[in-house]
A and B are shown apart, each in its own frame.
Chain A
């Protein structure tokens, strides 16, 4: 297993372009995962993602969350962001494995994206003290959000 800690950013274009299996770990204490063909097929946790919990996570105003930048089919919430693409139908456009990578580290797919990496702790500049060495979401939160987004199918 190849462990990449310090220089994951240098590898990102390789990871994104590669059709080979690459394994990356993103820091101490984080679950290892494999990137394969622009996706992370294996769930990060043994507990299946819970879509109801995922829906709560994405609308939690106290968290860095999808709704800040994306519109979502959550009509009871006001003020959806309009920075990223709308997420209605995102479950039809991407598989769960592809969504998982796009949450874990969207920069593995597009290094120029503005979207934060929700499960990465290395290769950042000057992270605030209370956020150091912990990802934005826990492994289980990633799985819960993946489970929720997977259900957002086109009609």
Chain B
């Protein structure tokens, strides 16, 4: 174990209680960051950024994971239930879940991702208030649940009722948009590894989300980064949680199939 920064002593205590943590951390260190040419954003980061992600005592995203663990166990709503009341220990019940999302939800008649699932569970089962998309709480719970899938390969279902949404997502990905008239793939497929000003263009994979983005000093969801990309090509973004971004999320998750969940990844 590395020497412990005193500021992170609380984190250490928390992590010590998570028996599965050491195992999954080791998995991700050894996990392949490239599968059949599909490359995690990790491979486009500097060695300093990679080691920041790899060291759980330094990784700033671990604060969100730790906060998520607290929220998982925190009772809320009139019946005094927490996530754990029904789902028990997330370290076992949530293993692999983030790697399968988004999924088709028949009650909803559409796709649901981890963030929306957390909120519908809170509303329907706990009768508790929902979290705002991109709130600290929702990012924390999403990070904590995703963390339980660390090292597990992205494996979304695009068949059956999910198929039309998948096709919508592909169309979104392939469409030129905004004043700069750019489609996602024109950079993230055709120009991977090239420099756009000082930045190296990655494949835009989402296996690391929620990420800690260094330039924003913040945790960032998959949909927030979609909105940021759209805004960067001077297109009007969609709302986080919108059907458009859910379909895009399904397509992009499939596009990165097999890449290991790295949440909370650290990106530039």
Residues of B within 8 A of A78 (CB): 198
Chain A residues 69-96 with CB under 8 Å of chain B are: 69, 78-83
Residue pairs across A and B with CB atoms within 8 Å: the count is 65
Q: Which of B187, B194, B235 contacts A128, CB < 8 Å?
A: B235
Q: A99 vs B175: C-alpha distance in the bound complex, in angstroms?
A: 27
Interface residues of B, count at CB 8 A:
22
Q: Which residues of B contact A (CB under 8 A)?
A: 175-182, 186-187, 190-191, 194-198, 231, 234-237
Give chain B nearest CB distance to A82 CB in angstroms.
5
- Nearest B-chain residue to A114, judged by Cβ: B186
A127 touches B235 (CB 8 A): yes
| 29 A–B contacts from the bound complex (CB under 8 Å) | A64-B180, A67-B197, A68-B197, A79-B198, A81-B195, A82-B195, A83-B191, A83-B194, A83-B195, A83-B196, A114-B182, A114-B191, A116-B180, A124-B176, A124-B178, A124-B179, A125-B176, A125-B178, A126-B177, A126-B235, A126-B236, A127-B178, A127-B234, A128-B178, A128-B234, A128-B235, A128-B236, A129-B236, A136-B179
Chain A residues 106-152 with CB under 8 Å of chain B are: 107, 114, 116-117, 124-129, 131, 136
Give chain B nearest CB distance to A124 CB in angstroms.
6
5 nearest A-B pairs in the assembled complex, by CB-CB distance: A79-B198, A125-B177, A131-B179, A116-B180, A131-B234
Q: A82 vs B190: C-alpha distance in the bound complex, in angstroms?
A: 13
A124 touches B231 (CB 8 A): no
A81 touches B197 (CB 8 A): yes
Q: A131 vs B182: C-alpha distance in the bound complex, in angstroms?
A: 15
B175 touches A81 (CB 8 A): no
- Nearest A-chain residue to B176, judged by Cβ: A125
Contact-size category for A: 20 to 34
A69 touching B177 in the complex, CB below 8 Å, given contacts A83-B191, A126-B236, A128-B236: no
- Nearest B-chain residue to A67, judged by Cβ: B197
Tell me whether chain B's interface is mostly helix, strand or loop, or mixed: loop
Q: Which of A82, A124, A125 contacts B194, CB < 8 Å?
A: A82
- Nearest B-chain residue to A127, judged by Cβ: B179
Give chain B nearest CB distance to A59 CB in angstroms.
11
Q: Which of A67, A114, A127 contacts B236, CB < 8 Å?
A: A127
Give chain A nearest CB distance to B243 CB in angstroms.
15
- Nearest B-chain residue to A117, judged by Cβ: B181
Q: A136 vs B179: C-alpha distance in the bound complex, in angstroms?
A: 8
Q: A116 vs B181: C-alpha distance in the bound complex, in angstroms?
A: 6
Give chain A nearest CB distance to B83 CB in angstroms.
37
Q: A79 vs B190: C-alpha distance in the bound complex, in angstroms?
A: 20
- Nearest A-chain residue to B195, judged by Cβ: A82
- Nearest A-chain residue to B175, judged by Cβ: A125
Chain A residues 31-73 with CB under 8 Å of chain B are: 64, 67-69
- Nearest B-chain residue to A82, judged by Cβ: B195
Q: Which of B181, B190, B196, B198 contacts A69, CB < 8 Å?
A: B196
Q: A78 vs B197: C-alpha distance in the bound complex, in angstroms?
A: 8
Residues of A within 8 A of B187 (CB): 114
Give chain A nearest CB distance to B244 CB in angstroms.
10
